[in-house]
Amino acid sequence: MYGGQIVEGGDSETVTQRPAHPYTQLLIESAPDPERSVIALDAPPEEVAAVSAGCQFAPRCPKVQSRCWTDAPPRTEVDSYGHWAACWLYVEAAA
């Protein structure tokens, strides 16, 4: 969940081993590892509030597209095991 929106779902092993949404990917990458630098994921509340119609993660997303700011992405199946992500990247891949 990011900014009050559920961004990815599925069984815990699938979501943690094969994260689909950019936010989930960054969360997994931010797990403590002395070999890597730390990635900050907390957005200031005013930054999250600024995106009312689109994806709440748009201000921080490394894969942001123009429609992410204006249109909330639908939940899209990532695989056939109930794994889904609310991200425009997967809407295009499913088409």
Beta strands in 1-88 (DSSP E): 8-9, 75-77, 84-86
Edge-to-edge, what's the strand order for the sheet holding 75-77?
8-9, 84-86, 75-77
Provide the whole-model pTM: 0.67
Q: How far apart are CA 29 and CA 83, in angstroms?
A: 19
Domain ranges of the chain: 8-94
Query: pLDDT, tens digit, for every residue of 47-78?
Result: 555 556 888 898 889 999 999 999 999 999 99
Which is higher by pLDDT, 88 or 5?
Answer: 88
Query: pLDDT, tens digit, for every residue of 10-51?
Result: 999 999 999 999 999 999 988 877 666 555 555 555 555 555
